[in-house]
Amino acid sequence: MLKNEDDLSWLARKADALRTEDSLETRKEDERIRARVDSLLFSLKVEGVLGSLEDRTMYTKRLPPGCVGCLDGEGSNLYVTGKCTRDCFFCFNTKPRTDETVVHGIKIAEPEEAAAIVERFGLTSIGISGGEPLLYPERVVRILRSLRSLKRPLRIDLYTNGDLASDERLEELKSAGLDSLRFNGVAREFDLEPVFRALRVFPETTVEIPVVPKRMDELKEMVLALDRGGVPFLNIHELFACRENDARVAGRGYAGKEGAQSETLQWKPVAEGEAAALELLLFSLRNAKTLSTYYCSCRTQELIGRRGLERRLSDPRP
Ligand code: SF4
């Protein structure tokens, strides 16, 4: 038991020394990652990557059509449901999962209400997402028909893990006016079978994934397979932690990057995430013949989020 007269100075010195050692290790690791990011950015630049290095918005050949309006701040998300067929460790959706439909941040009761919101905010690009939206195909088809009743051009992509993307469903989505699908190939453990089936119906089929640093070999294999199979687009994101996934992200051995908390969005990229995404982008730049890879970073999404928020706040209606 400790007494008042006990001299704890050596304990304090030891603890302080340990703390110094720890922070030194962390600093060394941060410096190593920064040097690696700088070296990857240099290679990408000299080898001709397109876009903005500063904003970390880079692509190898061309941007997917749905990303153009989004980058201009004219895109938004149409969240069909929080329910899903998967339970990915990186999933950032609110838990417990609820079945609600939200358009541009506004909850709706009927799918047909989507069109008026899209019209009111002058949106030109919509990403239908979830959860897994194809758990409710009838709702998705009603949303598509409602959006297609608008008398102006609108780009519509649907995000899916592919579990429920049967041939029949794909044809139904096409007839209802969907432009393309974006498959989360990591959610399906790199099983690309639904991607290649969708490509027969949707020529702009895209794969969109978080770059999980420890799966780099599989990710590179996936780039080659998509390129061989004629898939035109791969969108990659930095892995990030947020309130909904941080325990599981940390459980896989990924720590949040110090000082990287977003001001607008409630997330934090993981320390190795950017270097991994840049490595995959460079691999694609060097090896893919027709596949175009686009790095939509946390910094990019921060910019998009800010533009979207400004747009949303410019209209005082709920
Ligand atoms: S498939 Fe998508 S929505 Fe479903 S758990 Fe994985 S990341 Fe979340």
Share of the chain above pLDDT 90, in %: 75
Taking the C-alpha atoms of residue 81 and residue 139, their distance in angstroms, rounded to an integer, is 10
Identify the residue whose C-alpha is closest to ligand 1 atom 3. Answer: 131
Phi, psi angles (nearest 5°) of residue 209: -145, 155
How many A from CA of 1 to the centre of ligand 1?
Answer: 51
How many A from CA of 303 to the centre of ligand 1?
Answer: 23
Task: Name the residue among 226, 250, 259, 245 with its Cα closest to residue 30.
Answer: 259
- What's the pLDDT score for residue 257? 73
> In which element (H, E) is residue 302 found?
helix 298-313
- What's the pLDDT score for residue 192? 98
How many A from CA of 92 to the centre of ligand 1?
Answer: 8
Q: Does 185 have pLDDT greater than 50?
A: yes
Taking the C-alpha atoms of residue 88 and residue 189, their distance in angstroms, rounded to an integer, is 10
Dihedral sign of CA atoms 212, 215, 218, 219 in order: positive
Tell which atom from ligand 1 comes closest to the C-alpha of 129: 3
Taking the C-alpha atoms of residue 108 and residue 215, their distance in angstroms, rounded to an integer, is 38
How many A from CA of 293 to the centre of ligand 1?
Answer: 21
* Domain positions in the chain: 47-313
Identify the residue whose C-alpha is closest to ligand 1 atom 2. Answer: 131
Identify the residue whose C-alpha is closest to ligand 1 atom 8. Answer: 91
Tokens 């895209």 locate to 206
Share of the chain above pLDDT 70, in %: 87
Mean model confidence pLDDT for the chain: 89
Is 235 in contact with 64 (CB distance < 8 Å)?
yes
The DSSP-derived string for 138-170 is HHHHHHHHHHHTSSS--EEEEEE-STT--HHHH
Is 273 in contact with 253 (CB distance < 8 Å)?
no
How many A from CA of 161 to the centre of ligand 1?
Answer: 7
Q: Does 15 have pLDDT greater than 50?
A: no
Taking the C-alpha atoms of residue 96 and residue 100, their distance in angstroms, rounded to an integer, is 12
State mean pLDDT over 74-95.
Answer: 95
pLDDT tier at 10, thresholds 50, 70, 90:
very low
Taking the C-alpha atoms of residue 41 and residue 135, their distance in angstroms, rounded to an integer, is 40
State mean pLDDT over 74-83.
Answer: 95
- What's the pLDDT score for residue 74? 87
- What's the pLDDT score for residue 16? 45
Q: Does 18 have pLDDT greater than 60?
A: no
pLDDT tier at 315, thresholds 50, 70, 90:
low
Q: Does 294 have pLDDT greater than 90?
A: yes
pLDDT tier at 302, thresholds 50, 70, 90:
confident
How many A from CA of 85 to the centre of ligand 1?
Answer: 8
Taking the C-alpha atoms of residue 239 and residue 138, their distance in angstroms, rounded to an integer, is 32
Tell which atom from ligand 1 comes closest to the C-alpha of 159: 2
Task: Name the residue among 140, 142, 145, 150 with its Cα closest to residue 116.
Answer: 150
Q: Does 260 have pLDDT greater than 90?
A: no
Ligand 1 pocket (Cβ < 6 Å) reads 84, 86-88, 91, 93, 130-132, 161, 184, 187
pLDDT tier at 72, thresholds 50, 70, 90:
confident
Identify the residue whose C-alpha is closest to ligand 1 atom 7. Answer: 91
User: CA dist 271 to 20, 26, 56, 78, 204, Å?
Assistant: 20, 11, 15, 30, 32
Would you call 181 helix, strand, or coil by DSSP? strand
Task: Name the residue among 214, 222, 223 with its Cα closest to residue 272.
Answer: 214
Q: Which residues pair with 55 in a beta bridge?
A: none
Number of H helices, E strands in the chain: 10, 13
Tokens 């939206």 locate to 133
Identify the residue whose C-alpha is closest to ligand 1 atom 6. Answer: 88
Mutate to test the pocket of ligand 1, among 85, 88, 159 (most ligand atoms within 8 A of CB): 88
Considering the domain 47-313 in this protein, what is its CATH number?
A: 3.20.20
pLDDT tier at 13, thresholds 50, 70, 90:
very low
State mean pLDDT over 127-139.
Answer: 97
Q: Does 9 have pLDDT greater than 70?
A: no
Question: Could you check whether the bond before residue 96 is cis, i.e. omega within 30 degrees of 0?
Answer: yes
